[in-house]
Amino acid sequence: LAATSLLAGVAIVFAIGECVHTNVLGPLVADMAPAHLLGRYLSLYSLTFSISLALGPAIGGVLLQTSPDAIWWGGALAAALAGAVLLRLGGRIPDPLREAHSGLGSAPEAA
């Protein structure tokens, strides 16, 4: 019963993460894309997500077969690489709060 409860809890947290990921990342990719390349950016985003769903279990299986600890080290390495990429791209990611507040201090224009 404890293992079933733990598995259900992990599945719920994973599902919430998927909901947040889907609602945030698609519009973020669209905001970062130049207008003339929007379709390519969104298709590449979709392609990378589909490839990860296809290759993830295979890579995880190989790591698990190699060593049970390898899957954790592989996950830690992937998280570190993703963090490094996000730190590198941090200046390119649009900040909607900064853009929304940029016009607050200006005087209204006369009609």
Instruction: Give the tens place of pLDDT for each residue, 44-98.
Output: 999 998 998 899 899 888 888 888 888 888 889 999 999 998 888 777 666 665 5
pLDDT mean across residues, the chain: 83
Number of domains in the chain: 2
The length of the chain, given as a count of residues: 111
111 lies in some domain: no
Model pLDDT for residues 82-94, shown as the tens digit of each residue: 999 888 877 766 6
> Which pLDDT score, from 0 to 100, does residue 106 have?
52
Per the CB < 8 A criterion, the answer to whether 86 and 28 are in contact is: no
Q: Same domain for 45 and 87?
A: yes
Of 21, 41, 22, the C-alpha closest to 31 is 41
- Tell me whether residue 12 is in a domain: yes
Structural domain span for residue 54: 38-91
Closest CA to 43 of 22, 56, 29, 24: 29
pLDDT of 109 > 80? The answer is: no
Percentage of the residues of the chain whose pLDDT score is greater than 90: 29
pTM of the shown model: 0.58
The reported pLDDT for the residue numbered 3 is 87
Instruction: Examine the pLDDT at 32 and tell me if it is beyond 70.
Output: yes
- Angstrom distance (rounded) from CA 23 to CA 29: 11
